[in-house]
A and B are shown apart, each in its own frame.
Chain A
Amino acid sequence: MSEVAIVGIGMHNFGRSPRLSGLDQGANAVREALRDAGLAWKDIQVAYGGSQDAGNADALCNQLGLTSLQFTNIWNGCATGGSSLSAAYNAIKSGSADVAMAVGFDKHEPGAFNADPKDWGLDEWYGEAGLMVTTQFFAMKIQRYMVEHGITDDTLIKVAQKAFYNGSLNPRAWRRQALSYDDIANSMMVSHPLRKYQFCSPAEGGAAIILCNANIAKRYTSKPVYLKAAVVRTRAYGSFEVYSPCQAKERGDAPSVKASQDAFELAGVGPKDFDVLQLQDTESGAEVMHMAENGFCEHGEQEHLIQSGATAINGSMPINTDGGCLANGEPVGASGLRQVFEVCLQLRGQAGDHQVQGKPKLGYTHVYGAPGLSGVTVLEV
């Protein structure tokens, strides 16, 4: 089996680009990744990509060039980017391609998502009754988690405060203004216990990652980042998931539990080995719960870890160093690849003001998407 290296990363900054379509933003990300790797579009042998709301990724070829490459569209909720990367990783690993690309982009309307129940195997009543709302799920999951594991409202506010502070250090973030504790605590309650500034916003943007067989990585870059694992796992029975009219009697493991365990095994590493983490922070409670679901602490330990500053850029377990979804917004198709972009910057030592000190060697990314799947990666230099 071939080893896999990342040799090119590109992003069209997340936020709002009124003059550009989602596809345009995806194409910009691809061009930046190609420049980063010193490759031309015709060099890409296989590509996987997707958006939720901005069209088929294959249409990118119309402006990037019709080169006969194999291009597969991916549509996997918020885990679209992670799923595209996993497919590209497997294409290299299997030996079927030497150079591959994963690309994601999106362009969402402002305001909360309004999914169609039919797209998710649900009947119309679920949406008509006002239950097809992702913010409700996130609020209800953390509401119970706070009681079961002693997480405080204060900690959830501090997670958001950290995200916007990190965003203020990142020239490519959408939200670049640090918010005070009171700004967050006094913002509108959207879905109790979570307020406006504790939720990420649907946004626009694009991200692209170029991978190759590790044997040839040095042709393209002096600093390859090795992709040691790229794993996607869907929910197990009993896991508490979004868009679920009912929940099983017994609680099962979240998809992130299985995805992280399988990724650690594939990469031959453990959760204590990592220097920098990107964990899906759709809202501030998600970051807290995903710390434990991915094995980086026990359930309940987050309270102390966050309060003591362990998850800050200069802490022992830096999380969402680029500001995460909270400061970058969420163009669904691109979001998971933004995390990989950020970890590559960190491992290359190119993250500037938001650089984790001490030359991080091992990084982790994690996206979670509807209706209950997780995509994770292990990255190493």
Chain B
Amino acid sequence: MRLEMGTFPITEATFGPRTELDGTRLVIDHDELAALVLENGFFRRVRIEIVSPGESARIIHLLDAIEPRIKVEGPGETFPGFLGSVETVGEGRTHRLGGVAVMQSAEIPGRGKGGLLMVREGIVDMTGPGAAYSPFSQTINIVLTLELEPNFSDEEYDRTIRLAGLKAARYLARTTVDRRAPQYRTYDLTISCPALPRVVYVHQIQSQGTFARTFFYGKPLDHLIPTLVHPNELLDGALVSGNYAYQSMKTPTWLHGNNPVIEQLYDRHGRDWNFVGVILSRGHFYGISEKQHSANHVAKLARMWNADGAMITWEGGGNSIIEAMLTIQALERAGIKTTAISYELGGADGTGTPLLLYSVPEADALVSCGTYERPLRLPSVKRVVGGRTIRCDPAKGGHHLPAHQSLQLDTSLQMYCGTNQVGFGRRRGIDF
């Protein structure tokens, strides 16, 4: 399975009469894109804005972030199961616009559903101290602010918002179809040095229900029994996020297709190790026996793959660290050396306990991607995209603050991907 990824680095995006690529400048026909977004009929209107790195700008009510991509050769479609059939992807050639993210922003009605599975505020600051918490402060963001028609179900909003974003992303990438990319990278798991240790990546995702879900070929992973997948499938858009539960520790679609762990396992493939594949698993099971069951299955699959080492990341927060830790334990007991990336707790100054909600003695090689427990002060900004007020603490009924003003946040839970565990961050924790 050989995937060739062509990257068209983008340095500027503007609106213009026709959607096209002018060197490294992306020109967007605003009205054509707006018509595409509105065609499903669930939105009253859409506002499309371009937000660039370094601007005094804040993006709010963020949902997914999606990289513009298109399949130009080989089987399947970009974002299979949503924009095309469920044919297996990961082969042939795919084009991407480098440094660009399409984002949906919308205020989804709370409906008093309560509980943990509600949409929480997601913020990207393009400059200032908040930018360090937001990896997407470094991308050119095409933000679709969607005004929802009333009286549809959560499931209808969820699906339509996702389709609007995915379609917009493919539409922008269509500008690359007949062109040769400035950069190509080939992803191929062929083993040339069988003596090297075999390493597997365990990608534990979050999928609990509407607004806290991950899709594989368009199918929700809510009842996932750990399964083997080819990393190229993930690089080629097979995983799509619909997870808005905790914005700081989620993996948006953009990141599923650009997972730094997969990239680095490929970087050193055939030199320091043999990257043998990905085990997809799920956290947040509601009982301890399901958690143990998931961990055991991961370890069994890794053994069947003759893995010597494993790398694990876990999406979301709270109790899903139990699956991650039990998985580390099960892998280590099977003789497979395992390391993981995690955020850490520790309170505002990092000295409190616990540092992790749950841990096992076998978890002796952890990489920290920072903490969300430190209070954060965001300065005022000139421009706000996505709305006027931010919504804090929705689980407690929610209160609104003017979004352009300086904001004192108790934690950085709202900072989009601020502590994502796949390591796409600008922050880290250092033991000293």
A and B are interacting partners: no
